[in-house]
Structure 1
């Protein structure tokens, strides 16, 4: 797959078009119940001191939650992600982002709404693994 292009010194947006920033703002203003629950746990560097952004443009995509320092994307999937066409799109998107050094973790709305503690624990374990990978002892 094609490498994404950085368009700022830190490469945080990977060449996202300006229209993505307007769309991401609209998504932030119309968050789902699950996104709101998860954001309350991620915002303000609450999770192991890492800054997460919500509805963050990366190339042609908008990540539900993104930590640039870790190159970690958290996706929150509603029911429509179970449709065969959407599964294929999600797989292609995931592969493209992984090919560009991103790590992606997915949770369903149901997982977040019914067991946020378990979700936060899983994210914490992934953060620990990425941190260890970046800074081996």
Structure 2
């Protein structure tokens, strides 16, 4: 794991966030995602600088579309965001988990 992934994992493991179980390096179809919370159908990717390259961006976009077609939400953060803006990253993850793990009851 990268330093950013280690930091994020230290906040996600052990059901620390809303009691949700997160998995790391989780196989989902042909992909292995960085972090996954099944109860929220949420994928979290932590990207290094190689994800800024054009070919990698295209691959990431195709991967995100495929995961979204499976009903999953994909959140992407770069290493810098995780390392420098940790609180903001965790707040976004918290917000998405709260929305997706506890959807409003149908009318």
Q: Is TM more than 0.5 here?
A: yes
Q: In the alignment, does 2:51 pair up with 1:73?
A: no
Gap runs ≥5 in structure 2: none
Shift of 1:128: 1.7
More helix by share: 2
Residue 115 (structure 1) aligned with residue 85 (structure 2): yes
Q: CA deviation at 1:129?
A: 1.7
Aligned-partner SS, 2:105: coil
Higher relative contact order (CA 8 A, sep 6+): 2
Shift, 1:136, TM fit: 2.4
Determine the structure 2 residue equivalent to 1:97: 67
TM (normalized to structure 2)?
0.94
**4+ residue runs of structure 1 moved beyond 4 angstroms?**
none
1:71 is displaced (CA, Å) by 1.0
Unaligned segments of structure 1, at least 5 residues: 1-30
Q: 1:69 is paired with a residue of what secondary structure?
A: helix
Q: Give the Cα–Cα distance (whole angstroms) in 1 for the partners of residues 41 and 97 of structure 2.
A: 10
Look at both structures and tell me which one has the larger radius of gyration over its CA atoms: 1
| 1:61 and 2:54 matched | no
Instruction: Name the one with the larger strand percent.
Output: 2
